[in-house]
Amino acid sequence: QVQLVESGGGLVKPGGSLRLSCAASGFSFGDYYMTWIRQAPGKGLEWISYISSASNSPSTKYADSVKGRFTISRDNAKNSLFLQMNNLRAEDTAVYYCARMQPLDYWGQGTLVTVSS
Amino acid sequence: QSVLTQPPSVSAAPGQKVTISCSGSSSDIGNNFVSWYQHLPGSSPKLLIYDNNRRPSGIPDRFSGSKSGTSATLGITGLQTGDEADYYCGTWDSSLNWVFGEGTKLTVL
């Protein structure tokens, strides 16, 4: 069955960096667009980035709130999705989910990122 | 980037029917398929409806979706206490960003 498992969350100071991973199984990972979505405490779902299925130079897209600070990438050989988060801010505190597109039919369990001094 | 408008909350009694609206524009809903997600407390979001009105396997027919122009609607009949959750619509916008609605909290009284 399809499974997505995020890891890499934790506590980080403002201005710091963190790299999230999403391990995929149960489907042909390389055939699908993948996305990261987050939910800040008490807030709704916020799409932050997606990456196309192309093996060579996949296209990427970012929400304005993370553009220039976050980088999405994938390793189709390892069935893995990544989110490199730099220059983190307090407002980046959230549960981060990876999901298969589209529609967003499978989601991981989420990983908590807390940005605080 | 677009934001889709949903009512903050809706409520109804067990066994009753409720609808949740999602309002957008010609830049998003008007030219794209809409999907709906259920987010139960402590769980990951779950796809309920895709392509405006299609249900994934395993989703009961108590859940339905429709779209007209720049708005979409999620309907839930035969309400159960287990349906208490946050519900989100989602679609693409004209810049190929994915956008979510603001979310609607369903209370089953």
What phi and psi values does residue A30 have, to the nearest 5 degrees?
A: -65, -10
Average pLDDT over residues A41-64: 92
CA distances (Å), B6 to each of A45, B26, B28, B93, B106, in order? 13, 16, 14, 16, 12
Instruction: Please report the pLDDT score of residue A42 as a whole number.
Output: 93
Nearest residue to A110 (alpha-carbon basis) of A91, A96, A100: A96
Split at pLDDT 50, 70, 90, the class of A83 is very high
Mean pLDDT of A93-103: 95
Confidence bin at A54 (pLDDT 50/70/90): confident
| Residue B45 C-alpha, separation from nearest chain A C-alpha, in angstroms | 7
Q: Which of A52-56, A85-89, A112-116 has the lowest mean pLDDT?
A: A52-56
Task: Please determine, for residue A56, whether its predicted confidence score (pLDDT) is greater than 80.
Answer: no
Spatial distance between the Cα atoms of A98 and A74, rounded to a whole number of angstroms: 12
pLDDT at position B1 is 65
- Asked if B37 and A105 come within 8 Å (Cβ–Cβ), the reply is no
pLDDT tens digits along A27-45:
999 999 999 999 999 999 9
List chain B residues with CB under 8 Å of A101. 98
Regions of chain B with pLDDT less than 70? 1-2
Mean pLDDT of chain A: 96
Q: What is the largest CA-CA distance in chain B?
A: 41
3-state SS class at A13:
coil
Residue B90: which of A61, A104, A106 has the nearest Cβ?
A104
| Alpha-carbon distance B100 to nearest alpha carbon in chain A (angstroms) | 7
Per-residue confidence (pLDDT) for residue A57, from 0 to 100: 83
B97 touches chain A (CB under 8 A): yes
Q: How close B56 comes to chain A (CA, Å)?
A: 8
Percentage of the residues of chain A whose pLDDT score is greater than 70: 100
- Alpha-carbon distance of A31 to A44, in angstroms, equals 29
